[in-house]
Amino acid sequence: MKKTVWGVLSTARIGVKKVIPALMQSDEIHVKGIASRDATAARAAADTLGLDTAYGAYQDLIDDPEIDVIYNPLPNHLHVPLTLEAARAGKHVLCEKPMALNAAEIGQLSEVAQTVHIMEAFMVRHSLQWLEARRLIREGSIGTPRIIQSQFSYNNTDPANIRNKVEWGGGGLMDIGCYPIVAGRFFFEADPVRVMALISRDKTFGTDTLTSGLLDFGGGRQLTFAVSTALAPAQSVTVYGDKARLSLSIPFNQPPDAPQVITVDDGQTFIGATAVTHTLQPSNQYQLMGEAFSRAVRGEAPLPYGIQDAAINMRIIDALFRSETSGRWEAVAA
């Protein structure tokens, strides 16, 4: 098997700390190099990671004929512009979430997506824990799923951090609210028809620091979530059915070296005496995501998710922001 050759746009922390080390563990992937607008920073990152090449400009990476795939972890406002440049150069692109600042912006990628693969980097969709949880739901372990509740938070008050720059697509809903949204779509295996949001914004940054959402998936199915950039770190996903509830341990930031646990509790006792625990061996969801994308690039498997799916995620976020202003339910535009 010929390995896919990857290059990475920018020395963003998620790439350097999580994604690149995971990709380098794979027998299917060769990470050739990393690019930065600062050649010194690129060289330092390449040396630390043990990569062959440091590119002193993004365009140098895009122009490298040996690169098959480019991973784009740049700030949100640069996702579409740099993905578009890479795709026009014939590179397949794995782009960090959310893929754009709004759904309309994703439309710029429609033409190039006909010739290369472009996928949004939701690693959780490749998580063995998420896949097993969905299998349990499908086989009726909790009965009919009706409610999904999720919470995700961290505390970041650094004014220089990209998550606190509203003009760059910062804020809680864009950065982490997209995860509960994807959880709802993944476990209900459907898309919401209308949404409502309650949003609090930082007076200095202008970003949403606390956002709660209610998503109506039709058929009596609801997702409720709360995300914050100004609370103690925490995360949870629980799916409630008419027979039992299913909970995921560390649903979003799963450590690659720790067992992954799914708990199914029928609620017969309030102390969980009848709960059943499913424990999976450690795995790296970033590696699994990279391998799935590489197989699509090599023509060995279909692309798991394309830009149409990313556009749906953004239309849901767009509708939640509209609800902030209107104070009403907002339809998720087709």
- Region 206-220: what's the mean pLDDT? 98
Q: Is the pLDDT confidence value at 114 over 80?
A: yes
**Rounded distance, CA 293 to CA 111, Å?**
20
What are 20-35's pLDDT values in tens digits?
Answer: 999 999 999 999 999 9
Q: What is the pLDDT of residue 157?
A: 94
To the nearest whole percent, how much of the chain has pLDDT over 90? Answer: 99
For residue 129, pLDDT over 80 is answered with: yes
278-315 pLDDT, tens digit per residue, is: 999 999 999 999 999 999 999 999 999 999 999 999 99
Residue 65 is predicted with a pLDDT of 98
User: Is 7:71 a contact under the CB 8 Å cutoff?
Assistant: yes
State yes or no: pLDDT of 102 exceeds 90.
yes
* Residue 213 burial class via C-beta count within 10 angstroms: exposed 0-12, middle 13-18, buried 19 and up: buried
Give the Å distances, CA to CA, from 245 to 31, 46, 75, 242.
41, 45, 36, 8
Instruction: Look up residue 193 and give its two tokens.
Output: 């028809």
Mean pLDDT in the chain? 97
Tokens 């440049």 sit on residue: 85
Q: What are the two backbone dihedrals, phi and then psi, of residue 5, each rounded to the nearest 5 degrees?
A: -105, 125
Strand order of the β-sheet with 221-228 is: 276-280, 260-265, 245-248, 230-241, 145-155, 221-228, 208-218, 194-201, 330-331
pLDDT at 110 over 80: yes
pTM of the model: 0.96
Averaged pLDDT, 149-172: 96
User: 174, 106, 183, 122: which is closest to 147 by C-alpha?
Assistant: 183
Mean local confidence (pLDDT), 64-78: 97
Tell me which of 2 and 303 has the higher pLDDT: 303
Q: Does residue 77 carry a pLDDT above 90?
A: yes
Nearest of 332, 72, 73, 326 to residue 181 by alpha carbon:
332
Would you place residue 252 in the very low, low, confident or very high pLDDT band (cuts 50, 70, 90)? Answer: very high
Instruction: Name which of 197, 189, 191, 202 is nearest 213 in CA terms.
Output: 197
pLDDT tier at 1, thresholds 50, 70, 90: confident
| pLDDT bracket for residue 96 (50, 70, 90) | very high
Which pLDDT score, from 0 to 100, does residue 243 have? 98
pLDDT of residue 253: 97
Average pLDDT value for residue range 120-137: 98
Percent above pLDDT 70 for the chain: 100
What average pLDDT does this structure show over 237-245? 98
pLDDT computed for residue 333 by the predictor: 81
Find out whether 116 and 91 touch, Cβ atoms under 8 Å. yes
Q: Give me the sheet containing 92-95, strands edge to edge.
A: 53-55, 29-35, 4-9, 69-72, 92-95, 118-120
